[in-house]
Amino acid sequence: MKHHVLALCSALALMTPTLGVAQDRYVHANNSAYDTLDPHTVRDVARVASRLNFYDGLYRWVDNPPQLIPWLATDHSVSEDGLTWTFNLRDDVTFHDGTKMTAEDVVYSFERMLELKRGAGSLFLPMIDPGQTVAVDDTTVAFTLKEPSAIFAALVPDILVVNSTLVKENEVDGDWGQAYMIDHVAGSGSYMLQRYDPARGFIGERFADHFAGWGEKYFDEIEFRTVLETNTRIQGLMRGDYQGLDGYLAPDQVERLRADEDVQIMEEESMRVFHIAMHNGRAPLDDKNFRMAMVHAFDYDGYINEIMQGTVARNPTIMPGNLWGAPDVPGYDYDLEKAQEYLDAYKAEHGDDIRTIKIGTLAGFSETEQAAALMQNGLSQLGIEVEIESSPWPVISSAMQNPDTMPDMVPYWKSTYYVDPNNWVGELYASRYAPTRNVSDYHNDAVDEKLEQALIITDQDARAQLYADATTQIYEDAAGIWIYNTKWFGPYASNVKNVRFCPVGNGQDMRWAYLEE
Amino acid sequence: MRRLEIILSRLVWFIPTLFGLVFVVFFISNVIPTDPARIIAGENATEVQVQALRAEMGLDQPLHVQFGRYVADLATGDLGKSLYTQRAISEDLLHRLPATLELTMAAMVLAIGLGVPLGVISAVKRNSMIDQTLRVLSVSGLAVASFWLAMELQMYFSTKLGWTPLNGRIAGWGPEEITGFYLLDSLLTGDWASFWDTLHHMLLPAITLALPAAATLVRFTRAGVLEVINSNFVLYERAMGFPTTLITWKYVLRNALISTVTQIGLIFGSLFAGAVVVEAVFDWPGLGTYAVQSILQSDTKAILGFSIIVGVVFIGVNLLVDIIHTFIDPRTLK
Amino acid sequence: MTALKRLLADRAATIGAALILGLILVAIFAPVLAPYPEDVTAFHLTERLQPPSADHLFGTDRMGSDVFSRILFGARITITIAVIAVGVSVGIGVPIGLIAGYYGGFPGGFLMRTSDIFLAVPQIVLAIAIAQTLGPSVENVILALSLTYWPFWARLVYAETKSLKAQTFVEAALALGASDWRVMVLHILPNTASAIIVRTSIGMGATILTAAALGFLGLGAPPPTPEWGRTISEAREFLPEAWWYAAAPGLAIFLVVMGFNLLGDGLRDILDPKLRKGSR
* Residues C100, C108: Cα–Cα separation, whole Å: 4
**E strand or H helix that includes residue A76:** strand A73-78
At B329, is the pLDDT very low, low, confident or very high (cuts 50, 70, 90)?
low
Cβ partners under 8 Å of residue C95, min gap 6: none
Q: Give the chains touching A; criterion: ≥3 Cβ pairs < 8 Å.
A: B, C
* Residues C150, C167: Cα–Cα separation, whole Å: 26
pLDDT for A232: 87
Burial code (b: 16+ CB inside 10 Å, e: under 16) for C98-136 equals bbbbbbeeeebeebbebbbbbbbbbbbbbbbbbbbbbbb
pLDDT over 60 (residue A19):
no
Chain C, residues 22-41, CB within 8 A of chain A, namely 41
* Residues C206, A379: Cα–Cα separation, whole Å: 38
* Residues B71, B78: Cα–Cα separation, whole Å: 9
**E strand or H helix that includes residue B187:** helix B182-188
Q: How many Cβ atoms are within 10 Å of B80's Cβ, its own excluded?
A: 18
* Residues C154, B146: Cα–Cα separation, whole Å: 27
pLDDT over 90 (residue C18):
yes
Mean pLDDT of A100-117: 94
Question: CB–CB of B285 and A199 under 8 A?
Answer: yes
CA angle C35–C40–C44, rounded 5-degree value = 80
State pTM to two decimals.
0.85
How distant is the Cα of B243 from the closest Cα of chain C, in angstroms? 22
B287 neighbourhood in chain A, CB within 8 Å: none
Mean pLDDT of A468-496: 94
Question: CB–CB of B87 and A395 under 8 A?
Answer: no
C279 touches A: beta carbon within 8 Å: no
> Which whole-number Å values give the CA distances from B182 to B169, B177, B271, C101, in the listed order?
9, 8, 19, 47
Mean pLDDT of A119-128: 86
Task: Report yes or no: C237 and C231 within 8 Å, Cβ to Cβ.
Answer: no
Task: Report yes or no: A447 and A472 within 8 Å, Cβ to Cβ.
Answer: no
DSSP code of residue A512: G
Reference B314, options B76, B18, B37; nearest CA is B18
Q: Exposed, middle or buried by CB within 10 Å (0-12, 13-18, 19+), for A286?
A: middle
Reported as a single tens digit per residue, the pLDDT across C228-250 is 999 998 898 888 888 999 999 99
* Residues B227, B257: Cα–Cα separation, whole Å: 12
At B39, is the pLDDT very low, low, confident or very high (cuts 50, 70, 90)?
low
Mean pLDDT of C64-90: 93
B28 touches C: beta carbon within 8 Å: yes
pLDDT over 60 (residue A420):
yes
Residue C151: how many CA atoms within 13 Å on its side-chain side?
A: 17
DSSP code of residue A303: I
pLDDT over 60 (residue B32):
no
Reported as a single tens digit per residue, the pLDDT across A358-370 is 999 987 788 898 8
How distant is the Cα of A380 from the closest Cα of chain C, in angstroms? 9
Query: Could you write out the DSSP letters of every residue in C170-209?
Result: HHHHHHTT--HHHIIIIIIHHHHHHHHHHHHHHHHHHHHH
pLDDT for B330: 62
How distant is the Cα of B259 from the closest Cα of chain C, in angstroms? 12
Long-range contacts of C108-115 (CB under 8 A, 24+ apart): C108/C158, C111/C154, C112/C154, C112/C155, C112/C158, C113/B13, C113/B16, C113/B17, C113/B20, C114/B20, C115/C150, C115/C151, C115/C154, C115/C155
Helix (H, G, I), strand (E, B) or coil at A202: strand
Query: Could you write out the DSSP letters of every residue in B255-266?
Result: HHHHHHHHHHHH
Higher local confidence (pLDDT), C249 or B82: C249
Question: CB–CB of A370 and C62 under 8 A?
Answer: yes
Reported as a single tens digit per residue, the pLDDT across C179-228 is 888 888 888 888 888 889 888 988 999 999 999 999 998 888 877 789 99
Q: What percent of chain A has pLDDT over 90?
A: 65
Q: Which residues pair with A409 in a beta bridge?
A: A278, A359
Tell me, letter by letter, the H, E, C secondary structure of C48-102. CCCCCCCCCCCCECCCCCEHHHHHHHHHHHHHHHHHHHHHHHHHHHHHHHHHHHH
Mean pLDDT, rounded, of chain A: 89
How distant is the Cα of B206 from the closest Cα of chain C, in angstroms? 18
pLDDT over 60 (residue B57):
yes
pLDDT for B331: 59
Cβ partners under 8 Å of residue A350, min gap 6: A283, A284, A287
B10 touches C: beta carbon within 8 Å: no
B32 touches C: beta carbon within 8 Å: yes
Q: Of A307, A389, A392, which is closest to C137 when you measure between CB atoms?
A: A389
Q: Give the chains touching C; criterion: ≥3 Cβ pairs < 8 Å.
A: A, B
* Residues A415, A423: Cα–Cα separation, whole Å: 8
pLDDT over 70 (residue C127):
yes
Question: CB–CB of B31 and C209 under 8 A?
Answer: no
Most A-contacting residue of B32, B159, B283, B300 (CB-CB within 10 A), to test interface: B283
Cβ partners under 8 Å of residue A295, min gap 6: A332, A478, A481
Reference C224, options C83, C69, C84, C85; nearest CA is C69
| CA nearest to A387 within chain C | C222
pLDDT over 50 (residue A199):
yes
| CA nearest to B87 within chain A | A182
CA angle C141–C144–C147, rounded 5-degree value = 145
pLDDT for C256: 95
Most B-contacting residue of C23, C78, C116, C128 (CB-CB within 10 A), to test interface: C128
Question: CB–CB of C205 and B298 under 8 A?
Answer: no
Q: Exposed, middle or buried by CB within 10 Å (0-12, 13-18, 19+), for B232?
A: exposed
B157 touches C: beta carbon within 8 Å: no
Cβ partners under 8 Å of residue C77, min gap 6: C138, C221, C225, C226, C227, C228
> Which whole-number Å values give the CA distances from C24 to A187, A398, C17, C27, C30, in the listed order?
63, 41, 11, 5, 10
Q: Are strands A67-70 and A313-314 parallel, antiparallel or unpaired?
A: unpaired
pLDDT for C275: 47
* Residues B6, C131: Cα–Cα separation, whole Å: 37
pLDDT for B177: 81
Report ipTM for this prediction.
0.89
* Residues C133, C125: Cα–Cα separation, whole Å: 12
Higher local confidence (pLDDT), B15 or C280: B15
Q: Alpha helices of C226-274 — where are they, by DSSP H?
A: 228-235, 243-271
pLDDT over 50 (residue A319):
yes
DSSP code of residue A80: T
pLDDT over 70 (residue B187):
yes
